[in-house]
Structure formats: C-alpha cells, structure tokens
Structure 1
Amino acid sequence: MANVSETIVRRKLSHEVFDRLKAMITGGELAPGDAMPSERDLMDRFGVGRPAIREAMQALANIGLITITHGERARVQRLTAKSIFQQVDLTANILLSASPDSLEHLKQARRFFERGMVREAALRASPEDVARLQETLDQQARSVGDPDAFISNDMRFHTQIAAISGNPIFEAVSEAMLGWLRQYHTEMLLWTGREALTLTEHALILRCIGEHQPEEAEAAMVKHLDRSSVLYAHSG
C-alpha cells in the first residue's frame, strides 16, 4: 500500500498554467504594467487549450495579480496593501450580511485599531498632516445635508489619521474596515444634531493630534466611536 504522502495527484491543466504564469510575474519576467502574452501565444508555449489558459488567467485576476479588461490584453497589476484588501471585499460583505455577530466584531476591531492609530498620529503628525485633516473636516462641514458626501468625508478623516503612521498597511486596513461598515450606516445620521456632534468630536480629535496629546486623542476617539457605533446596524 502506497504511503499517502507519495501519492501522485493528477492536476488540472489550468492549475499548472496558473503556477507557470504566476512564476513569470513573481520571477520578474513580467513586470507591473506589462501586457500578458496573448491566449494564442500561451496556448502554443504551454501546449494546452484555450479553456485552461482562460481559467488560469481568471484565477490570477481573482487574487489581484492581473487585471482583465474586455477587448484588451490582460495586464500585470502592481500589488499594494490596498489592492490586497480589495480582493476580500466581496467575501467580507457576505460574512457581515449573514452574521450580526460579525458586524459587532468588526466594530470592536475598528475601535481597538483606531485607538492605536490616533495615538500614533498624535505622536507623529506634521503641520502638513494636521492641515490635511483640517481640510477634510472643513469639507465634511460643508457637506451637511448630503449624507453620501458627509460619510465619505468622515471615512477620509479616519483613514488620513491612519495614514499618518507612514505604514500603508494601516491605511489600507482603515479604508477596508470603513468600506465594509459603510453599507450598515443607518439613517440615524440624519437626525437633528447628529452631524454637528460628529463634527465637534472630529474637531476635538484633530486638536489633540495637533497638540501632540496621545492620551487625550485616544480618549476623544474612544468616546466618538462608542457614541457613533450604534449608527452601524443590520436593517433587518
């Protein structure tokens, strides 16, 4: 009886093509921005049919290594922290929609994450960082009465705080979590005074960052998130 570890498994042709194309990208034969070889060239090169090539190319697109545009050659994508998180957007949204517990877990994770981000921002923020946050806060104030714009500026304010860390992964995590939460933002934001309260809380957070007060910045952020957490809920 053969040992299980010695068993030879027959692989799908598309899996083999996927591995070879991935090696071409990770090995530097194809660089970000380069066009992928045509389907015909790859069929001739690997001695396989069109279905195997297309299946492998779609698998590469699914993990963000290439972009496929109708009527054009696929191109190698430059991987970034942001593009990596975008690959799980659909899966994350399905999880959140199916599980109220997951939404609560996400809100808790955001609270923990933003406490650290605002402390880091208060320690590191340059005058340019503070000015950028102030500009976003001003834009948010001007967008009162326009819920989509108001929430977009709200998200930008928090993501800019994470970006002050200088770590693109933190910025990408912030943007991803806020994007996943956005679909659960209820109409409670439109209640009288809600926008004004958000703007006041953001202004206090910004002042603490500008004055390089990490303890005070964290306290202000926690109070803001605990108050606004109820704005994110399953509609049903």
Structure 2
Amino acid sequence: MKQDPLAPPDRIVRRKLSDQIFDRLRDMMASGELPPGAAVPSERDLMERFGVGRPAVREALQHMHTMGLITISHGERSRVNELSAGSVLARVDDAARMLLSAEPEQLEHLKQARRMFECGLVRVAAENATVHDVRDLRDLVGEQRARIGDAETFVTADMAFHARIAQISANPILMATSQAMLRWLFQYHGVLLHWSGNERITLGEHDGIVDRIAARDAEGAVAAMGAHLDRSNPLYRHPCS
C-alpha cells in the first residue's frame, strides 16, 4: 500500500531509562535468574550492569516495590517477592474500595458479578466435592449458627462458607477472586445492621446449598445459590443509599 505523503510520520517514542530497567529486572525474575526470595542486586551493581545512573535505578526499584514484585527494606537488601493470585489481587483492594465508594453504582455491578461467579463455583463444587469437602461445609454452617447474636463474627463465618465452596475448585485464581469479591463487598459495615433477624434464613439457605452439593445436584445447587444471593444482595447497601 502506497503511503500518503501528507500523513504524519510514525513517531518514535523514547522510553524512560527506569522503564527499561524495570523490564530487564522483570525478565530476570521470569527467567529464574532472580527467583522468589532472592536478593535484588545492589543499586551500584545495577548501575554498572545497565550503564545507567542511580536515579533511574531507584525509580525502577520503587516501581517494582509499588507493584508488589519486590520488597524494599531500609538497611537490608531488597528481596524478590513470591507472587500468588491472592497477593496480586490484594494489591488492588484499596483501589477497588475507592472505586466502590466514589461510584455507588459499581456496588450493583459487583453484586451482579458475584452472583454469576458464585453460581459457577457452586456448580463446580457439586460436580467435584468430596466427602471431606461436604463435611467441612456442614461444620462451617454449624460454626456460623453458633455465631447468632454476634453480627460481625456471623458475617465472618458467612465469608468462610463461601470461600470454602470456592476452594473445592482447586483453582487458585478462582479462590483468590472469590475472596477479593467478598472483601470488597463486606466493606459496607452497614450490612451488619441489616443482617439482624435474617440469620436463620441465611443458615437454612446454606444448609440447602450444602445438601445439593452433597447430592451432586449441580442444577439444584446453582438454583439454591442464585436464590440465596438474590435474597441477600439487597442487604449490601452503599452508605449513601
């Protein structure tokens, strides 16, 4: 294709030295040259290796620290962090909470996403749960029943129940995502006041979900979870609502 002589030239963007250092260090981590727990080369070593000044090195290291790739400790060598799905998602907790607080409509989006996600998880649970998994779920419902009267610990037990269903998937990304959604949702402390009087309804619904999982009734488990979330979702309210 003939190039239009009047078209603006393709611009060559010069990348910051710190960005290039960041990429090189990240590649060293990915290749195993800098495995989890390893000490990051000193600033002087990096300056000599890459032929750059100290400010660029420090900026790159600070960026890596902010992203959770390394931990910078004053007086000690920086270390490469061991990453997991949970640790990565935990890094966005504050940003997610700010988004939910600044834009109340995002709470409804979160509840919708959680419903779709949990219904998928409970289907997987019904198809794969072991006797041990079912026993754990029943124990968790029993523990939650013992928390009636203490709203905060009751809600904590509720989160543990849903997290245990996610655990049956044996998929660390699904498990971490489930826990992240629960953390973001339960930031609304006003929910504790709205749970009063609904505890036994919640427990009955949890019992029904476990029964369907134990029976390997995937469709029944999905229906039970959907009904449970449809009933409980209105309890999660933005403080301004």
TM-score when normalising by structure 1: 0.90
Question: Structure 1's 148 and 188: CA in aligned 2 closer, same or farther, altered over 3 A?
Answer: closer
Mapped contact 1:188–1:231 kept (Cα < 8 A): no
**1:151 aligned onto 2:122:** no
For 2:109 and 2:181, locate their aligned partners in 1 and report how far apart those are by CA, in whole Å.
11
Q: Which residue of 1 aligns with 2:127?
A: 123
Q: Which moved more, 1:197-206 or 1:121-130?
A: 197-206
Mapped contact 1:14–1:56 kept (Cα < 8 A): yes
Q: Which residue of 2 aligns with 1:109?
A: 113
Residue identity (%): 54
Once the two structures are superposed, residues 127-149 of structure 1 have per-residue CA deviations (whole angstroms, 9 ceiling, x without a partner) of 11112222222222222333332
Query: Which amino acid counterpart does residue 166 of structure 1 have in structure 2?
Result: A
Q: CA RMSD in A?
A: 2.1
1:96 to 79, 97, 100: 100
Once the two structures are superposed, residues 36-60 of structure 1 have per-residue CA deviations (whole angstroms, 9 ceiling, x without a partner) of 1222322333333333222211211
State the shift of 1:164 in Å: 0.9
1:84 to 85, 88, 97: 88
Query: Which amino acid counterpart does residue 124 of structure 1 have in structure 2?
Result: N
Once the two structures are superposed, residues 98-156 of structure 1 have per-residue CA deviations (whole angstroms, 9 ceiling, x without a partner) of 11211101100111111111111111100111122222222222223333322222112
State the shift of 1:75 in Å: 1.7
State the shift of 1:70 in Å: 4.3
State the shift of 1:179 in Å: 0.9
What are the ranges of 5 or more consecutive residues in structure 1 without an aligned counterpart?
Answer: none
Q: Which residue of 2 aligns with 1:8?
A: 12
SS in 1 for 2:20: helix
2:193 to 166, 185, 188: 188
Q: Which residue of 2 aligns with 1:139?
A: 143
For 2:140 and 2:71, locate their aligned partners in 1 and report how far apart those are by CA, in whole Å.
32
For 1:181 and 1:69, locate their aligned partners in 2 and report how far apart those are by CA, in whole Å.
33
Q: Which residue of 1 aligns with 2:43?
A: 39
Query: Which amino acid counterpart does residue 23 of structure 1 have in structure 2?
Result: D
Mapped contact 2:71–2:81 kept (Cα < 8 A): yes
What are the ranges of 5 or more consecutive residues in structure 2 without an aligned counterpart?
Answer: none
Once the two structures are superposed, residues 190-234 of structure 1 have per-residue CA deviations (whole angstroms, 9 ceiling, x without a partner) of 42x222222221111111111211122112111111111011111
Question: Structure 1's 77 and 120: CA in aligned 2 closer, same or farther, altered over 3 A?
Answer: same
Question: Structure 1's 54 and 143: CA in aligned 2 closer, same or farther, altered over 3 A?
Answer: farther
**1:64 aligned onto 2:64:** no
1:219 to 211, 223, 235: 223
Question: Structure 1's 127 and 78: CA in aligned 2 closer, same or farther, altered over 3 A?
Answer: same
Question: Structure 1's 126 and 43: CA in aligned 2 closer, same or farther, altered over 3 A?
Answer: same
For 1:160 and 1:48, locate their aligned partners in 2 and report how far apart those are by CA, in whole Å.
49
SS in 2 for 1:78: coil
Q: Which residue of 1 aligns with 2:166?
A: 162
Between Structure 1 and Structure 2, whose CA radius of gyration is higher?
2
TM-score when normalising by structure 2: 0.88
For residues 168-207 of structure 1, what are the structure 2 equivalents within 5 Å? 168-185=172-189, 186-191=191-196, 193-207=197-211
